[in-house]
Amino acid sequence: MKIYFAGSIRGGRKDAALYNEIVQHLKTYGEVFTEHVGGTELGVLGQDIGDQNIHDRDLDWLASSDCLVAEVTTPSLGVGYEIGKATEWGKPVLCLYRPTEGRSLSAMISGSNAITLKEYQSPSELIDIFKDYFRSE
């Protein structure tokens, strides 16, 4: 299975260690095209290869993937764009969200029938979320 993982880069990197943990779990189910998103050395400016190159490369990866898994707790325009493209292309999409006081998830994510949304509080819960999700895919 080819998995595209999406998490905030320019929207904020406070969850970078969590993204790395998610990527490690996802690698047990297949190849993760965007493993670098979990890299703790990656800053808010992302990779220094030019915005056009990032856009084109990432859309190529997304088009080649079997599914998209996105951590959507930290709002990100790029992640939203990727989710929109994946649903437009009919790809299965799993969004992971940690509810927090004072913050609400976008209705464009929570209200979409094309997205599987799973709420969680602890990274340990992701093991069962992924088992259930990939068993059904």
The pLDDT tens digits of the residues spanning 79-111 come to: 999 999 999 999 999 999 999 888 899 999 999
C-alpha 40/C-alpha 120 separation (Å) is 22
Using a cut of 0.95, tell me whether the model's pTM lies above it: no
User: CA separation (Å) from 52 to 48, 58, 134?
Assistant: 11, 10, 32
- Give me the domain span that covers residue 18: 2-136
Give the pLDDT score at 47.
55
Q: Structural domain tally of the chain?
A: 1
CATH number at residue 40: 3.40.50.450
The pLDDT of residue 46 is above 70:
no
